[in-house]
Amino acid sequence: MDLIQTETPSAFPALCRECRFDTALIRPEETAELVAVNVSAWRQLLTSRDPARLSRRPMTGTNSALEHACHLWHASQDFDRVLWTELPHEGTVDQDQIQAPGFDRSNEQDPWIVAKGLEEATTSITTRLQGLSSRQWQHEIPWGPRLHTIESHVNQLLHQMVHRQHLVILSVLDMADR
């Protein structure tokens, strides 16, 4: 099976041609549940497979399942920090969270720790998003050279979760073909 794989989905597609995720269908009030469902799927993937298979890259220049998960973990932790800065809050950013590893070390991580780290970061995000007003969902946050609204950024994170899982599933099927 020949695969056309896009490792990083583009910023704001309506309907992704590859994984079929459609950000236009997501309503802010559904976000927390969708994040939880996706994180649960990632946990299942990371904790039910042989770690050696999780760190296998399907082909040169692509990511292993573990690397995809670490990218998500990073993206979630970064977003959580930005939300902490941008939204009214009490206390400090949660220093007890396990820190996501550098990208060069992603493939050496314990999948159980990655699953836990991803869960912690995304739970923190959905807690911060609870009870946002419709105006706050449209609040713009700095993200690299761009400004994203909180709503568009959550949609993008959800798309990354789905898209990366789609790539992992395709790569498993692809390896089984050989």
Task: Answer yes or no: are the C-beta atoms of 169 and 32 closer than 8 Å.
Answer: no
| Closest approach of Zn ion to the CB of residue 30, in Å | 18
| Closest approach of Zn ion to the CB of residue 64, in Å | 19
Window contacting Zn ion (CB under 5 A); options: 18-26, 29-37, 48-56, 94-102? 18-26
Residues in 26-45 at the binding interface with Zn ion, rule: CB under 5 A? none
Angle at the Cα of 63 (from 59 to 68), degrees rounded to 5?
155
CA torsion angle 98 102 108 110 (round to 10)? 10
Number of residues that bind Zn ion (CB under 5 A): 6
Q: Is residue 106 exposed (0-12), middle (13-18) or buried (19+ Cβ within 10 Å)?
A: buried
By CB under 5 A, is residue 19 in contact with Zn ion? yes
**Chosen residue from 12, 16, 94, 116 binding Zn ion by CB under 5 A:** 16
Alpha helices in 87-149 (DSSP H): 111-129, 134-137
| Closest approach of Zn ion to the CB of residue 26, in Å | 13
Residues in 111-170 at the binding interface with Zn ion, rule: CB under 5 A? 163
Provide φ and ψ at 104, rounded to 5°: -70, -15
Residue nearest to Zn ion (CB): 16
| Closest approach of Zn ion to the CB of residue 112, in Å | 27
Question: What is the sign of the dihedral through the CA atoms of 130, 131, 134 and 135?
Answer: negative
| Closest approach of Zn ion to the CB of residue 15, in Å | 9
Window contacting Zn ion (CB under 5 A); options: 15-23, 28-36, 117-125, 133-141? 15-23
Task: Answer yes or no: are the C-beta atoms of 163 and 16 closer than 8 Å.
Answer: yes
By CB under 5 A, is residue 9 in contact with Zn ion? yes
**Site residues, Zn ion (CB under 5 A):** 9, 16, 18-19, 21, 163
